[in-house]
Structure 1
Amino acid sequence: MNRRELREQIFMLLFRVEFNQKDDMPEQCTLFLEDGDTEISEKDAAYIRSKYEKIAEKLPEIDKLINETAIGWDTQRMGKVELTIIRLAVYEIRFDETVPTGVAINEAVELAKKFGQEGSSGFVNGILAKFA
C-alpha cells in the first residue's frame, strides 16, 4: 500500500473509536486488520496498528489541542468523520516528525472530500490551518 492508502486504513480504524469502548478497541483492531474488505499485508498491518495505537494513546491530548484551537467548535459538536480526520492530522502535525505539516493538511482535506459531507474539506482545512 502507498502512504495515502495506509492513511485511509488508519482513518477507518480510528473512526471505530467513536462507536466502541476503549477496552474493545484491541479486538476491533484485530477484526479490522484480519477481516476487512481490503487485503492488508503483514507489514502494512503492523504499520497501521502501530500508528493507530500511537494516536489512540494521545487522543486526550489531541482532543484538548483541538478544543483549544477550534474556536466556536469542540470535539463534542463536530461530525464524527471530520473529527476523526482532524485527530489523525493533528497527530501527524504535532507528534509525527516523518509527515510534513503541509502533507498532513493536504491528506486530511483529501480524506474529507472522500469520506465527509459537502463542505467537510473546507471545515477540516480551516481547523487545521490554525495548527500550521
Structure 2
Amino acid sequence: MNRHEIRKEVFKAVFMNEFHDTEEMDGIIATFLKGRDIAETEDLAKNNKTPDDEEYIKTKSEDIISKISEIDELINKSVDGWKTTRMAKVDLTLIRLALYEIKFENIPVGVAINEAVTLADEFGTDNSAGFVNGALAKLV
C-alpha cells in the first residue's frame, strides 16, 4: 500500500472511534482490518496490503485515539469560533489525523495538510476541504 492508501485506512479506523467506546477500539480495529483483508482477497488486484502495513495502520490508529484529548485541546485553543463538539465528524477526524502527523510523526506540514484536504474531498461535504484547510492553517 502507498502512504495515501494507508492514511485513508487510518482515517477510517479513527473515524469509527466517534461511534464506539475507546475501550472497544482494539477489537473494532482488528475486525475492521480483517474485513478489509476479506474484501481485498476477493479482488486480488487490490490485495497489496502487507502485514507491516496492517500493523502500522493498527498502531497509528490506536496511538491517535490515545492522544485525542491532547489533540482536541490544541484544536479547541486554536480554531476560533469552533469547538471539536461542533465540527463534522469527518472534518474533525481529518484535522486530528493531520495534527497528529505534524506533532508526533514530524510529517511535513504541507504534506499532512494536503493529504487531509484530499481525504476531505473524498469523504467530506462540499465545504469540508476548505474547512479542514483553514482549521489546519490556524493550527500550524
Give the structure-2-normalised TM-score.
Answer: 0.90
Matched ranges for 1:46-85 at <5 A: 46-85=55-94
Within 2, Cα distance between the matches of 1:29 and 1:92? 19
Q: Which runs of 4+ in 1 moved over 4 A?
A: none
Report the Cα offset of residue 104 of structure 1. 0.2
Aligned to 1:125: 133
User: Which consecutive residues of structure 2, in runs of 5 or more, have no partner in the other structure?
Assistant: 41-46
Within 1, Cα distance between the matches of 2:98 and 2:84? 14
Within 1, Cα distance between the matches of 2:21 and 2:114? 30
Within 2, Cα distance between the matches of 1:32 and 1:77? 27
Count of residue pairs the alignment pairs up: 131
Matched ranges for 1:33-44 at <5 A: 33-36=33-36, 37-38=39-40, 39=47, 40-44=49-53
Higher helix share goes to which structure?
A: 2
Over alpha carbons, which structure has the higher Rg? Answer: 2
User: Which consecutive residues of structure 1, in runs of 5 or more, have no partner in the other structure?
Assistant: none
Say what the alpha-carbon RMSD is for the aligned residues.
Answer: 1.0
- Answer whether contact 2:26 2:62 (CA < 8 A) is retained: no
Matched ranges for 1:21-36 at <5 A: 21-36=21-36
User: Structure 1 vs Structure 2: percent identity of aligned residues?
Assistant: 49
